[in-house]
Structure 1
Amino acid sequence: MKVLISFFVIVLAAACATAPTNDTGAAAIAGNAADRIRADVAYLADDARRGREAGTLGYNDAAQYVADQMAAIGLTPVGDDGGWFQQVPLRSSVRNHDESKLIVTNADGSETILVNLDDYVIFPNSASVEPESAMEASGEAVFAGYGVHAPEFDHDDFAGLDVDGKIVVYFSGAPDSFHSEPRAHFGSSSNKRKHLEQIGAIGAVILRKSDSVKRSPWERQIANPASKSMTWIGPDGTADVSGPGVSVSAVLRQKKSEVLFAGAPKSFAAVLAEADAEGGAPKGFDLAVKVLLRGAVKNEMIDSPNVAGILAGADPELKDEVVVLTGHLDHIGVNQKLIDEGKDGINNGAMDNALGIATMLEAARALTAGERPARSIMFLAVTAEEKGLLGADYFVHFPTVARENIVANVNLDMPLVLYEFTDVIAFGAERSTLEPIVRAAAAEAGITLSPDPIPEQGLFTRSDHYRFVEKGVPSMFLVVGFANGGEEQFGEFLKNHYHKPSDEISLPILYDDAVRFADINMRIARGIANTENRPRWNEDDFFGDLFAGD
Structure 2
Amino acid sequence: MKRTAKTLIGIACATGLVAASSNIALAGSADRFKGHMSLLADDLLEGRDTGSKGHDFASLYIASELTKLGIMPAGDAGSYYQMVPFKQATIDMKASALSVSNGSESIDFAFMDNMLMSADINETDTQITAELVFAGFGIEAPFLNYTDYEGVDLRGKVAVILSDRPHSFPSEEGSHFRRQISHALVKHGAIGAIVLSTPVSENVFPFEKRKLYVRTPRTRWVDANGSVFEGFPELKAGATLSVEAGKQLFELAGLDLQTYFDKVENGEPIEGRPLGLSATFTSKSAHTATTSPNVIGIMEGSDPVLKHEYIVLTAHSDHIGISGHSVLKDKINNGAMDNASGVSTLLEIAHEISHSAVKPKRSVIFAFVTGEEKGLLGSEYFAHYPPVPVHSMVANVNLDMPILTYRTDEMIAFGATHSSLETPVREALLKHEIKLIDDPMPEQAIFVRSDQYSLVKQGVPAVYLVPGMSNQEENAIGMPASDFLKKHYHMPSDDLNLPIDYEWAAKFVDINFEIVMSLANAKQTPSWNEDSFFATFKQAQDGKP
- What one-letter code is carried by the residue in structure 2 that aligns with 1:40? H
Q: Counterpart in 2 of 1:51?
A: 47
Q: Counterpart in 2 of 1:248?
A: 237
**Cα separation, 2, equivalents of 1:28 and 1:83:** 34
Contact 1:124 1:134 in 2 (8 A): no
TM-superposed deviation, 1:38: 1.3
Contact 1:29 1:363 in 2 (8 A): no
- What one-letter code is carried by the residue in structure 1 that aligns with 2:390? R
Contact 1:323 1:375 in 2 (8 A): yes
Contact 2:338 2:400 in 1 (8 A): yes
Q: Counterpart in 1 of 2:339?
A: 353
TM-superposed deviation, 1:391: 0.5
**Cα separation, 2, equivalents of 1:251 and 1:512:** 44
Q: Counterpart in 2 of 1:302?
A: 290
Residue 461 in structure 1 maps to residue 452 in structure 2 = no
**Cα separation, 2, equivalents of 1:29 and 1:140:** 65
1:547–1:402 distance in 2 versus 1, CA, 3 Å: closer
Contact 2:141 2:147 in 1 (8 A): yes
Residue 259 in structure 1 maps to residue 248 in structure 2 = yes
**Cα separation, 2, equivalents of 1:527 and 1:214:** 38
TM-superposed deviation, 1:229: 1.7
TM-superposed deviation, 1:281: 4.6
Aligned to 2:108, which of 113, 126, 137? Answer: 113
Contact 1:326 1:464 in 2 (8 A): yes
- What one-letter code is carried by the residue in structure 2 that aligns with 1:415? P
1:71–1:118 distance in 2 versus 1, CA, 3 Å: same
1:310–1:262 distance in 2 versus 1, CA, 3 Å: same
1:173–1:41 distance in 2 versus 1, CA, 3 Å: farther
Residue 170 in structure 1 maps to residue 191 in structure 2 = no
Residue 282 in structure 1 maps to residue 278 in structure 2 = no
1:60–1:539 distance in 2 versus 1, CA, 3 Å: same
Q: How does 1:56-71 map to 2 (within 5 A)?
A: 56-71=52-67
1:265–1:116 distance in 2 versus 1, CA, 3 Å: closer
SS in 2 for 1:391: helix
**Cα separation, 2, equivalents of 1:187 and 1:26:** 45
Q: Which runs of 5+ in 2 are unaligned?
A: 1-17
**Cα separation, 2, equivalents of 1:278 and 1:521:** 40
Q: Counterpart in 2 of 1:142?
A: 133
Percent identity, please: 38
- What one-letter code is carried by the residue in structure 2 that aligns with 1:354? A
| Residues 463-487 of structure 1: per-residue CA shift (max 9 Å, x gap) | 0000001111111111111243699
Q: How does 1:111-510 map to 2 (within 5 A)?
A: 111-127=106-122, 133-188=124-179, 191-264=180-253, 266-275=255-264, 277-338=265-326, 341=327, 343-370=329-356, 371-484=358-471, 489-510=480-501
**Cα separation, 2, equivalents of 1:50 and 1:310:** 29
1:495–1:126 distance in 2 versus 1, CA, 3 Å: same
Aligned length: 518
- What one-letter code is carried by the residue in structure 2 that aligns with 1:349? G
- Report the TM-score, using the length of structure 2 for normalisation: 0.91
Deviates more, 1:341-350 or 1:411-420: 341-350
Q: Counterpart in 1 of 2:9?
A: none
Aligned to 2:71, which of 68, 71, 75? Answer: 75
**Cα separation, 1, equivalents of 2:79 and 2:497:** 34
- Report the TM-score, using the length of structure 1 for normalisation: 0.90
1:292–1:82 distance in 2 versus 1, CA, 3 Å: same
**Cα separation, 2, equivalents of 1:75 and 1:38:** 21
- What one-letter code is carried by the residue in structure 2 that aligns with 1:484? N
* Aligned-residue CA RMSD (Å): 2.1
**Cα separation, 2, equivalents of 1:282 and 1:348:** 43
Q: Which runs of 5+ in 1 are unaligned?
A: 1-21
**Cα separation, 2, equivalents of 1:55 and 1:385:** 12
**Cα separation, 1, equivalents of 2:473 and 2:442:** 16
**Cα separation, 1, equivalents of 2:318 and 2:103:** 47
**Cα separation, 2, equivalents of 1:151 and 1:261:** 29
Who wins on radius of gyration, i.e. which is larger? 2
**Cα separation, 2, equivalents of 1:83 and 1:414:** 27
Q: Which aligned segments of 4 or more residues in structure 1 are displaced greater than 4 angstroms?
A: 25-29, 485-488
TM-superposed deviation, 1:247: 1.9
- What one-letter code is carried by the residue in structure 1 that aligns with 2:436? L
Q: Counterpart in 2 of 1:32?
A: 28
Q: Counterpart in 2 of 1:13?
A: none
- What one-letter code is carried by the residue in structure 1 that aligns with 2:502? Y
TM-superposed deviation, 1:454: 1.0
1:464–1:486 distance in 2 versus 1, CA, 3 Å: farther
**Cα separation, 2, equivalents of 1:215 and 1:268:** 19
Q: How does 1:77-92 map to 2 (within 5 A)?
A: 77-92=73-88
